[in-house]
């Protein structure tokens, strides 16, 4: 449920937009269906050809069934036959895309008819809004069914009305019906059952496992190890659990979070974990919609609306087709040639795009330039805090592949409170109730090895020696590199990690003296300085405030590595907040007041009344790994060459991104490695990965580990985020990570 909107009379504003979308959808469906009777086009993967060419070629099969080769253009489409065509020997057929076109065409036809049939009348919109009003006051709702969502989506089509909505009448949505009806969720459930089966098998020896790091990955690893009957012990350096999702309270008792974290329906392992812990009700699901601030219309928004009842991938396609504010229809159709290979080949095609940035991919496939400013800038900064010219296209395609294949994959939820209490504490209680342990304030000083390279023990900073049967590192990549023992430093498996580093990001909390007109959802700012933001006083139960807003914003890119022109990590809090206030003045032109403390607001008119009453700036110099082009192949698998040592962490190799889902899955896979080793089973194929030849063939000199010397309270030293409130703290941050103290050209040269 969302803020209620005033409804126009039935004849005051005829909905020509929906009729136009209906007509275009039917036309597109007809065109694609007719394509089924055209010649067959085969995309032939390069490995199936007898020799390599410098240009792409495709096989064309006209109705006569006579095969010939013709040169392809940059979009993978056939050009006129060429006498210079090389003599290829096709050993296997490529992928016939006609069935895909036919399926999409039929689906588009059906979806177009559904749009027309499901289009609500004004009376139905009013009924749906009254239903939500009742829910807001009584907690109960009428049985309006899917029509309620459709009616509300129709009511939201006027961005100005959306901005004028009443936040007090907002609410949340039920658990999405299709989240658990996916192959990925079923795989997550099957792996969980494997752990339980191990626990019930008395023939499997039980192991004591020491886990370094109490973030999401370390906690997930411990949870599944204890489920399998083993004895995990977690050692977290800081006094708070959660790693990159950690949070703490300020002097006023307000929570300050390391980052703005959103849960997607396409997070199968996280959803499975919540179900197992019995805390699914702590997810506050929002309407299935994406909301974008409109750069050319300050103060207004546009949306991608996912029509209920239409399955993936058609719901995603329709959401884009129904929006006429961001891209024109010709621009949308111009994107199809780039997406077809992904639909046909899947992850194999996606992985081959790692060397290309988002902009490189766009231009290679002839996508319109405007899609960068309208869509990809928002996506890139939301996925990895990087601008499109720096982000590997494999990240965007991986996300799109999930969202295109899962009906509720893009539906979003907020946790109903702070992550340490509402999630991490529940995992800790689960682990300890079943025989494991979780220690905070227990930093590891050194990983000590035996002569054969295996782990002998861990030495804690306190001097305590930790001996276990198995050891798991769930540290962030930049911290792990400082702990690699000298005997391991010459092994190519560990030297490939040199190619990875975390991306800087800044998270902001801004408390205002009054309520801003907001939506109960995540918003994509499309701002040069901001990624996404949300009014947490509206979206989150624990932070709810009917009178004052608290915006949580992701400030990105904040360094040259991420595509920025300024190294904001070394700037003062006041400089960062002033720049942000300038952006908020653009997003909320009639609400933000002109405040002499913040010069960027000096041009605000008299209508603006909202003033900033306090703020928090959380710096994380090394967040998720920087997914710049060419880096994905260096992500190591969980299985290491060390007989009793396993890797976890969202930066390790797994099919999801550096995210909460990636961290949870990596921890679960690390637990599976330990369990398979204990049971004498061979490792799973997806847990092994070839090392790049130039890394494997390298000749390396030993390196002594640097370790971490920062105080327990210095979260940055341990890969987390913190408020840097003094010059001493800033100096300590730069001493721990010198890259944050250099600027511009020097920083880029280092990278």
Residue 726 labeled ligand binder = no
Establish how many alpha carbons lie within 13 A of residue 425's alpha carbon, considering only the half-sphere containing its beta carbon. 8
d(CA 525, CA 552): 12
Contact 411, 265 (CB under 8 A): yes
Tokens of 138: 């009584």
Phi and psi, residue 601, nearest 5°: -100, 10
Rg of the Cα trace of the chain? 27
Cα distances from 11 to residues 7, 325, 489, 552, in angstroms, run 11, 23, 73, 40
The answer to whether the annotation marks 444 as part of a ligand binding site is yes
Sign of the C-alpha dihedral, residues 742, 744, 749, 751?
Answer: positive
Residues 6+ apart with CB under 8 A from 566: 558
Provide the 10 A C-beta neighbour count for residue 439. 14
Q: How far apart are CA 634 and CA 692, in angstroms?
A: 7
Would strands 231-235 and 437-439 be described as parallel, antiparallel, or unpaired? Answer: parallel
Among 656, 662, 686, 663, which residue's Cα sits nearest to residue 673? 686
List the beta bridge partners of residue 282.
none
Report residue 409 CA to chain centroid gap. 12
Read off the DSSP letter of residue 645: E
| CA atoms of 256 and 617, how far apart (whole Å) | 9
| Sequence-distant (≥ 6) Cβ neighbours of residue 348 within 8 angstroms | 45
Edge-to-edge strands, sheet with 283-285: 263-264, 412-415, 283-285
Length of the chain in residues, anyone?
751
Paired tokens of 312: 């993936």
Q: Which residues of 583-613 are buried (b: 16+ CB within 10 A; e: fewer)?
A: bbbbbbbebbbbbeebebbeebeeebebbbe
Give the DSSP H/E element, type plus range, for residue 660: helix 660-679
Cα-based distances in Å from 555 to 26, 336, 386, 559, 723: 41, 32, 11, 10, 14
Rounded Cα–Cα distance for residues 582 and 509 (Å)? 15
474 vs 457: CA distance, rounded Å? 16
Residue 263 assigned as binding residue: no
What backbone torsions phi and psi does residue 378 show, to the nearest 5 degrees?
Answer: -65, -45
Question: Roughly how many angstroms between the first and final C-alpha of the chain, as a whole number?
Answer: 46
Give yes or no for a contact between 18 and 121, defined as CB atoms under 8 angstroms apart: no
12's CB contacts (< 8 A; 6+ apart) are: none
How many other CB atoms are there within 10 angstroms of residue 117's CB atom?
A: 8
Q: Are 145 and 124 a contacting pair, CB within 8 Å?
A: no
Contacts of 480 by beta carbon, 8 Å cutoff, 6+ apart:
473, 497, 647, 649
Closest to 658 in 3D by CA, of 640, 638, 635:
635
**How is residue 98 written in tokens?**
């006609």
Is position 217 annotated in a ligand binding site?
yes
- The Cα–Cα gap between 670 and 667 comes to 5
Q: Where are the alpha helices (DSSP H) in 200-293?
A: 216-227, 268-277
The span from the CA of 248 to the CA of 241, in Å, is: 10
Instruction: Name the DSSP letter for residue 422.
Output: I
Residue 16 CB coordination number (10 Å): 8
**Which residue blocks in 213-300 are alpha helix, DSSP H?**
216-227, 268-277
Q: Which of 575, 574, 608 is nearest to 591 (CA)?
A: 608
Give the residue numbers of the binding site for substrate: 555
Give the residue numbers of the binding site for FAD: 217, 236-237, 444
């Amino acid at each position: 449920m969302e803020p209620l909107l005033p409804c126009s009379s039935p004849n005051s504003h005829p909905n020509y937009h929906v009729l136009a979308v209906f007509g275009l959808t039917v036309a597109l469906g007809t065109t694609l269906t007719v394509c089924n009777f055209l010649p067959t086009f085969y995309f032939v993967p390069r490995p199936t050809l007898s020799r390599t060419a410098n240009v792409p070629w495709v096989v064309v099969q006209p109705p006569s069934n006579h095969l010939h080769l013709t040169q392809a253009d940059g979009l993978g489409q056939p050009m006129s036959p060429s006498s210079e065509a090389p003599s290829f020997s096709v050993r296997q057929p490529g992928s016939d895309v006609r069935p895909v076109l036919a399926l999409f065409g039929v689906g588009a036809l059906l979806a177009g008819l559904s749009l027309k049939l499901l289009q609500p009348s004004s009376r139905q919109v009013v009924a749906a809004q009254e239903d939500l009003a009742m829910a807001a006051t009584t907690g109960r709702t009428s049985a309006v069914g899917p029509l309620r969502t459709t009616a509300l989506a129709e009511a939201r089509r006027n961005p100005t009305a959306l901005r004028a909505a009443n936040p007090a009448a907002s609410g949340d949505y039920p658990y999405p019906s299709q989240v658990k009806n996916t192959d990925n969720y079923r795989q997550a459930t099957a792996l969980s059952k494997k752990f339980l089966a191990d626990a019930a098998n008395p023939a499997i020896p039980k192991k004591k496992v020491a886990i370094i790091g109490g973030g999401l990955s370390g906690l997930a690893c411990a949870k599944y190890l204890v489920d399998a009957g083993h004895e995990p012990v977690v050692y977290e350096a800081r006094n708070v659990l959660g790693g990159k999702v950690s949070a703490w309270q300020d002097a006023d008792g307000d929570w300050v979070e390391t980052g703005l974290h959103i849960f997607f329906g396409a997070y199968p392992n996280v959803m499975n974990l919540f179900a197992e812990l019995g805390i699914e009700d702590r997810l506050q699901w929002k309407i299935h919609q994406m909301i974008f601030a409109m750069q050319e219309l300050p103060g207004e928004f546009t949306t991608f609306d996912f029509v209920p009842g239409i399955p993936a991938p058609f719901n995603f396609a329709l959401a884009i087709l129904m929006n006429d504010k961001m891209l024109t229809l010709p621009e949308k159709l111009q994107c199809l040639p780039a997406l077809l290979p992904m639909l046909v080949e899947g992850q194999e095609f996606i992985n081959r795009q790692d060397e290309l940035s988002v902009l490189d991919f766009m231009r290679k496939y002839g996508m319109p330039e405007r899609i960068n400013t309208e869509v990809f800038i928002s996506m890139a900064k939301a996925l990895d805090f990087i601008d499109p010219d720096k982000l590997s296209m494999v990240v965007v395609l991986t996300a799109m592949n999930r969202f295109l294949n899962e009906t509720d994959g893009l539906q979003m939820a907020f946790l109903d409170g702070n992550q340490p209490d509402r999630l991490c504490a529940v995992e800790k209680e689960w682990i300890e109730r079943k025989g494991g342990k979780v220690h905070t304030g227990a930093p590891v000083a050194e990983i000590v090895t035996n002569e054969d390279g295996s782990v002998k023990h861990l030495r804690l900073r306190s001097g305590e020696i930790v001996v276990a049967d198995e050891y798991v590192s769930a540290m962030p990549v930049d911290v792990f590199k400082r702990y690699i023992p000298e005997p391991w430093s010459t092994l190519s498996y560990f030297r490939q990690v040199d190619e990875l580093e975390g991306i800087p990001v800044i998270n902001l909390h801004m408390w205002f003296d009054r309520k801003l007109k907001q939506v109960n959802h995540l918003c994509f700012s499309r701002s040069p300085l901001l990624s996404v933001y949300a009014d947490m006083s509206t979206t989150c139960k624990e932070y709810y405030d009917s009178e004052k807003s608290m915006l949580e914003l992701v400030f990105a890119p904040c360094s040259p590595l991420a595509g920025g022109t300024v190294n904001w990590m070394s700037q003062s809090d006041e400089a960062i907040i002033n720049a942000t206030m300038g952006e908020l003045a653009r997003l909320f032109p009639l609400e933000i007041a002109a405040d002499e403390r913040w010069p960027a607001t000096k041009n605000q008119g008299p209508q603006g009344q909202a003033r900033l009453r306090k703020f928090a700036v959380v710096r994380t110099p090394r967040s998720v790994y920087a997914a710049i082009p060419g880096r994905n192949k260096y992500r190591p698998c969980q299985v290491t060459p060390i007989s009793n040592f396993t890797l976890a962490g969202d930066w390790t190799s797994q099919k999801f991104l550096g995210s909460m889902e990636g961290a949870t899955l990596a921890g679960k896979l690390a637990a599976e490695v330990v369990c398979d080793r204990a049971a004498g089973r061979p490792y799973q194929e997806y847990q092994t990965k070839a090392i790049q030849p130039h890394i494997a063939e390298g000749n390396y000199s030993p390196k002594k580990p640097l370790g971490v010397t920062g105080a327990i309270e210095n979260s940055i030293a341990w890969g987390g985020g913190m408020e840097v409130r003094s010059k001493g703290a800033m100096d300590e941050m730069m001493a721990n990570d010198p890259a944050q103290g250099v600027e511009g050209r020097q920083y880029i040269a280092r990278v």
